[in-house]
Amino acid sequence: MHMSRRCSWASRRAACARGIPGLWLLGCCALAWCPRWGLAGQVSQSEPSPESPRIVWRETTDREAPRVFEVVGLGGPVLEALGRASLSSAEWTRLFAVYAGVSSAEAPSDTPAMLGRHLIVGDRLRFQPRFAVDVGVPYVAILSLRYLPARVVSSLPDTITRLQGTDSIAAEFALSPDRQQVGTRLTQIYPSGDVLPENLLKIYLHFSAPMSRGESYRHIRLVHESGRLVDLPFLELDEELWDRRQQRLTLLLDPGRIKVGLTPREESGPILEPGQRYTLYIDSDWQDARGRPLVSSVEKNFRVTARDERSPDPRQWRVNPPATGSREPLSVTFGESLDHALVSRLLEIRDHADRPIRGMGRVTDMERGWQFTPALPWKPGRYSLKADPVLEDLAGNSIGRPFEVDLQAVETRPGPVSVLAIPFVIH
Amino acid sequence: MMRKTFLLLAGVGCLGLLACSATAGDFKASMKAGTPDLQSIGPIAFGPDGILFLSDPKGAAIFAIDSGDDEAVTHAKGLDLADVDGKVAALLGTTADKILINDMAVNPLSGKVYFSVSRGLGPDATPVLMRVLRSGKIEQVSLEGIHFSKAELPNPPKSGDKRLLSITDIAYLHGRVFIAGLSNEEFASKLRSIQFPFAGVGGGTSIEIFHSAHGRYETRSPVRTFADYQIGDEAYLLAAYTCTPLVKIPIDKLESGEKIIGTTIAELGNRNRPLDMFVYNKGGKDFILMANSSRGMMKITTENLGTIAGLTERVSGTAGLTFETLAGRDSVMQLDRLDEKRALILVKADEGPLNLETMALP
């Protein structure tokens, strides 16, 4: 990261504008001071004397408050008087406050001050923000000596008179992003194939680093080969279907336009049409969790085939056992592409006593296959490939139930959910 | 969102339901002092006696906290506050584009407004609970040392799992907490019901709802928001799905855990997502007020709600219960009931800030 500070005085601006790279130098830079302007038009134009108060910010070792704002130069008697005066939270805030998102051009009349605590630490008055300061957000810290409580002023008439002569002071601070860091990329789109069913239900976008939440759908477009933008193809959920690290986003194609007979499909038509080609565009202006755009835009082209309304049938899967004594992977072919996330999670190998075999699974061949490499060499014996019936194909048909079910037809009602086992032998 | 239930119960009397047999002491007796280990914050909902339910999608848990805000107060004035997101962000030391307001709930007792907020847009966003007083002052609700209880949802993601359940709505209905959720992997929309006070760790009952469309029963569609409604002696859950069918489901069947077929009572049009809704009474008649993503705000009649046969044929446009679309309410992001005669809406005009506005119930 990079810290910047701006000051109203030209001489100080030059010093600050040089910038001091790296947060580790914050404390050092904070020793320079940047008084800027007074409140209510009382701009301080005179060079302050060395003992005048000034505002700095600096790093601390406190994980709860890694950066704090401090007033130095108030002097011991004033700090002691403040300590004795038991100021209320409102009094502290009137005296010394930090405002986020406020530029130097505007007075923070309608902006509440940051939440935080006021402390007297050694020879400094400290404001410890309740939340860590953010990269890219401007902060203005304002010391308003006019709001020193009367009980403090009356106890130190001479000192206060001197301080009040310096007027209110303010300083701006900001952390700018570290341009040296590697940018975030979209690394993979699943399904990875380029021939997809008309009733495709899900698309997974994988990223190399955590992304931001809240604006995702704005950065994703589906375009027909004619150049026509497909209108609202995705189910836009405010929550956005991210994984815990926000490195994978699940896009659901609007189920109302996939299921035959539902109003959205009847009125707006299907999202994808067989025989047509489409391009999925992901814009590079989508920001990652650090607020940086993606390294590049990405597009995926695909052709659409007929609907898939059948559940995956594990009886049609082919299991190819490796030789005993080896650590060669066991391979499974499904005969169709299945859901990448679910294949990754819902398949496992068990031994004859139904104990799980340790190893690593890998989805292969455009999600039409799966390989399992054991941690230890294969021993001869009976094994089974276990699949959870929740496992789906690209159209949301699970082993246990097709995506569209006519529940009035008894024979197609979903049965009880159980785990399927496909036995195989390693010789 | 829909913190409508308790008000509704209060409005119509207790109806002999479970919720009324418990007292404030019962509700809070199981709570312990401490700090909830919230990993995230999603939809929130008020229950009885100032108890606020917080959903934690990342932590796969529901927290019931004693907000301490349990004094009944009536307010002559409404609440209007401009640039709520900007002000909340400033208090949290950042800017409005770096926070997300996930949900809004009005405490039916005090009329104070609570916001579920994520400070930050990344995976390390800090979950924060904020509160707007009727004076317009905004403050953070500290969760340190409060009294709370926790219900863990079953089958939470394992470490390293990419699987996660998003929570789309939460409500307290008739002594139970209902949670609508949607997986980011299998296409499984779950409605879960947990008895409150929470009986230790337990995820409650998982409910699968089917509803009719074109002679078929479709299932697993995500429930976006829900409310409850009393028809005679029977209590119903009204569930609005993401593709806007409105479905009624008898609540006693929800509690049995059996597979349920709901009745589609309205098709409110495509290209639209319901956002929030609640039931209110005006002039002796009940109405449903629903905010939508692209079809504005709807005032839906309930006159035929008890007798409507259900829509099973293909519907072109809208059908079922009749409704009117309210003019000038196109940008409502959050909706809740403020009191017997007013609603509170969070409005985003174009790309501008979020404004809190009071509106008379239509």
CATH number at residue A260: 2.60.40.1220
Q: Which chain B residues in 211-240 lie under 8 Å from chain A, judged by CB atoms?
A: 213-219, 221-222
Counted domains in chain A: 3
In a shared domain, residues A281 and A324: no
The enclosing domain of B287 has a CATH number of 2.130.10
Rounded Cα distance, A12 and A32, in Å: 8
Cβ-count burial of A31 within 10 angstroms (0-12 exposed, 13-18 middle, 19+ buried)?
A: exposed
Rounded Cα distance, B133 and B139, in Å: 8
Q: Is the previous residue joined to B245 through a cis bond, with omega within 30 degrees of 0? A: no
- pLDDT tens for chain B, 362 residues long, are 434 333 333 333 333 333 344 555 678 888 999 999 999 999 999 999 999 999 999 999 999 999 999 999 999 999 999 999 999 999 999 999 999 999 999 999 999 999 999 999 999 999 999 999 999 999 999 999 999 999 998 877 777 789 998 899 999 988 889 898 888 998 877 788 888 998 754 455 666 655 555 445 555 677 888 888 887 788 888 888 876 678 888 887 776 556 666 777 887 776 678 889 999 999 999 999 999 887 789 999 888 777 766 655 555 555 577 888 888 888 899 999 999 999 999 999 777 899 999 999 99
In a shared domain, residues A34 and A132: yes
Containing structural domain, residue B143? 5-360
Would the ipTM clear 0.85, i.e. be above it?
A: yes
- Which tokens belong to A25? 């130098």
Containing structural domain, residue A408? 314-426
Write out pLDDT tens, residues B277-304. Answer: 999 999 999 999 999 887 789 999 888 7
In a shared domain, residues A330 and A219: no
In a shared domain, residues A230 and A270: yes
In a shared domain, residues A35 and A69: yes
The pair phi, psi for residue B36, each rounded to 5°, is -60, 135
Cβ neighbours of B93 in A, within 8 Å:
98, 100, 114-116, 129-134, 137, 139
Write out pLDDT tens, residues B223-232. Answer: 888 888 887 7
Q: Is the previous residue joined to A423 through a cis bond, with omega within 30 degrees of 0? A: no
Provide the whole-model pTM.
0.87
Q: What share of chain B is helix, strand, coil (3-state, %, to 5)?
A: 10, 45, 45
**A255 at B interface, C-beta within 8 A:** yes
Q: Provide the edge-to-edge strand list for the sheet that holds A169-176.
A: A20-21, A2-4, A169-176, A139-143, A96-100
A295 band by pLDDT with thresholds 50, 70 and 90: very high
- Which tokens belong to A366? 């455009």
Three-state SS at A340: helix
In a shared domain, residues A300 and A318: no
Rg (CA), chain B: 19
Contact A43, A37 (CB under 8 A): yes
Contact B195, B140 (CB under 8 A): no
Domain finish residue from A176, A201, A226:
A176
Counted domains in chain B: 1
In a shared domain, residues A258 and A363: no
Contact A294, A185 (CB under 8 A): yes
Which residues sit opposite B228 in a β-bridge? B237
**B308 at A interface, C-beta within 8 A:** no
In a shared domain, residues A102 and A232: no
| Residues 6+ positions from A124 with CB-CB distance below 8 Å | A70, A71, A72, A74, A79
Cβ neighbours of A202 in B, within 8 Å:
187
- A:B CB pairs within 8 Å: 207
In a shared domain, residues A155 and A254: no
For B84, the closest chain A residue by CA position comes to A111
